[in-house]
């Protein structure tokens, strides 16, 4: 996880290759408890739980700030006590290394929360 | 809309009646451009669009603050340039007047944004 955590997103252009299954499997081993969604496209999903509403809001804001700094924006769903995050690369409709970098940074923000 | 906007949520207990179809139809006429979702349960849904990421984040926070003040918490989904809001009453698994009050307040916050 440390290695991904120290990287930044690179520009991902339309037409860039999505990761191979082997690359995905290798990168999945570097992040903790993320689910690999495969339908309709490959995405990384994780649910983060909280004991109150404001802690979830604070976490959402920290992820949104990181996302904007990386210029890579996930889908974030806020409910009471729960924040669900989906990372994928819109331009290639699938997974790029950027998504694993951001998943790792998301975990780090949760631990800091 | 003004009438709903000036009301506050009342406590909604498990077992409280959901609104009748007639009540829903009447209240739908008091809010603007909300979609009535009926499956799997009745919910109010609206998508709010923005020209940049931070404006969506700011709007999400204003809705979250209002929700916490009303002690009634929607599902809010943040994407780049888009915030999707779903109001329903978890305890009765359907719609309560509280949801229409909060939908009206959500619209008001969007206009202030």
Task: Choose from B52, B57, B82 for mutation: most chain A CBs within 10 A.
Answer: B57
CATH number of A19-112: 3.30.1360.20
Q: How far apart are CA A87 and CA A103, in angstroms?
A: 7
Beta bridge partners of A74: none
Mark the ranges of chain B whose per-residue pLDDT is less than 50. Answer: 1
Q: Longest Cα pair distance anywhere in chain A, in angstroms? A: 42
Task: Identify whether the C-beta of residue B30 lies closer than 8 Å to the C-beta of residue B104.
Answer: yes
pLDDT over 70 at A1, yes or no? no
pTM, two decimals, is 0.94
Measured between CB atoms, does B52 come within 8 Å of chain A? Answer: no
- In whole numbers, what is the pLDDT of chain A averaged over residues? 94
Beta bridge partners of A76: A85, B78
pLDDT over 60 at A34, yes or no? yes
* Runs of H (alpha helix) within chain A: 2-5, 21-28, 53-70, 97-112
Q: What's the pLDDT at B2?
A: 53
Q: What's the pLDDT at A2?
A: 53
Q: How far apart are CA B95 and CA A20, in angstroms?
A: 45
B90: nearest CA partner in chain A: A80
Domain boundary assignment for chain B: 19-112
Percent of chain A whose pLDDT exceeds 70? 98
């Amino acid at each position: 996880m440390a290695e991904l955590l120290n990287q930044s997103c690179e520009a991902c252009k339309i037409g860039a290759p999505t990761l191979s299954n082997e690359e995905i499997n290798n990168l999945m081993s570097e992040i903790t408890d993320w689910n690999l969604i495969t339908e309709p496209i490959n995405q990384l999903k994780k649910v983060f739980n909280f004991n109150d509403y404001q802690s979830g809001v604070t976490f959402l804001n920290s992820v949104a700030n990181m996302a904007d700094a990386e210029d890579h924006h996930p889908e974030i769903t806020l409910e009471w006590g729960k924040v669900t995050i989906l990372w994928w690369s819109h331009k290639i409709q699938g997974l790029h290394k950027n998504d694993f970098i951001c998943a790792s940074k998301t975990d780090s923000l949760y631990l800091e929360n």
